[in-house]
Each structure stands twice: as structure tokens, then as C-alpha cells.
Amino acid sequence: MNPFPASEYLIPLVFLLFAGATIGGALIAVFTKWIIRSVCGLAMASVGLAGMFYFLHSPFLAMIQILIYIGAVCITIVFAIMLAEPDEPQDGYGQHSVPWNLGAGIVAAAVFWGIARLGVTGDWPTPAVRVSDGGVEMIGVALLTKQSLALEIVALILLVSILGALAVARKGRHIE
């Protein structure tokens, strides 16, 4: 049986698709005038990031990424927009002056250049031996043994944030 023609290009193509979704979604999230499109850009970037996680040998995190970022974070932000955002962007709404944007671009470009240079030219050590393959079973065992403190702290943080969100959002509420 012959392989599918040009099948060796399929994996890089899918990779580039996900990388493009990540960067394109992030650009949409930052540059668009409408805040609801910005949320859609964030969702697109999250799909791209999930693909990146898949390529980095962790389908588990890819699933969690879609579940939490698209299923929870984006939906919550959409709720907040429905409650607290005017429909039409007015003139100059959500925008600073041109020099301000130019300064932001310069800062972002400097950060990108510095960190990308560190990543590319850095002398990264390759480990001699890998103690595990990072599968879901190993993550579960680690969460309940070696990393159990992290699990407990995340649980505590989520509890405190739920209580804090309830307390803050309830405070200004009046019965009219």
C-alpha cells in the first residue's frame, strides 16, 4: 500500500497551522477594536496553544487547555462583557494616543528580541536520562505523592478566589 502523497509534509503543515492560530489569535485579541472579537481571538490563540501542547507530547494538557481556556475563561469574559460593556465602541474608545502605542510597540519588540535571543542562543543542557515519559499516569502519581503540596495550594487558591469573587461582586448590589 502506497503512503499518502506528500504525507511527510502533513505534520509540519499542521504544526504551522497551530502556530499561525496562536499568533494570529493573539494579534486579533490585541488589535481589534471590538472587545468581543478580542475574546474570540483569545479563544483562537487557546486552540493554537492546545495544538502546541499536543506537539510537545502532552495531549492531556491540550485537553485541559481547551477545557479551561475556551470553556471557562472565554465564557466568563463574555459574561462580563455582556454585563459591563457598551455595545458600540465610541470614537477613540479603548485607544491611547499614537506615541503611547509606539512606545508600547518598542517595549514589546525589545522584550521579544531579548527573550527570543536568550532562547535561541542559550546553552541549554540536554538531560542524559529521562526518569519518566510524562504520561497521565505519572502525572496522577506525582500529584498525589511528590507534588501534593502544589495540588493543595491550587485547591486553596481556587477556594479563596471563589469566595473573594462572590464577596466583591455582591457588595455593590442593591435591591431596587
Partner 1 sequence: MSLLLEIHQSPAVYLVLAALLLAIGLFGLIRRNTLVGMLISGELIFGAAMLNLMAVNRFFAPDPTVGHVFILFIMGLSAAEVAIALSIVIAVYRNYRSIRTGDIAEMQG
Scan residues 100-159 and list those touching partner 1 (CB under 8 A).
100-101, 103-105, 107-109, 111-112, 115-116, 119-120, 124-134, 138-139, 141-143, 147, 150-151, 153-154, 157-158
Nearer to partner 1, 2 or 23 (CB): 23
Site for partner 1 contains 11 (CB under 8 A): yes
Minimum CB separation of residue 136 from partner 1 in Å reads: 9
Binder among 21, 42, 44, 47 for partner 1 (CB under 8 A)? 42
| Integer Cα distance of 82 and 76 in angstroms | 10
Taking the C-alpha atoms of residue 42 and residue 24, their distance in angstroms, rounded to an integer, is 10
Alpha helices, DSSP H, located in the chain? 10-31, 35-55, 59-65, 75-84, 98-121, 136-144, 148-171
Near partner 1 by CB under 8 A: residue from 60, 63, 66, 70:
60
In angstroms, the CA 3 to CA 5 distance is 6
- Rounded CA-CA distance 83/164 in Å is 19
Comparison of 129 and 175: residue with beta carbon closer to partner 1? 129
Q: Which of 21, 22, 44, 47 binds partner 1 (CB under 8 A)?
A: 22
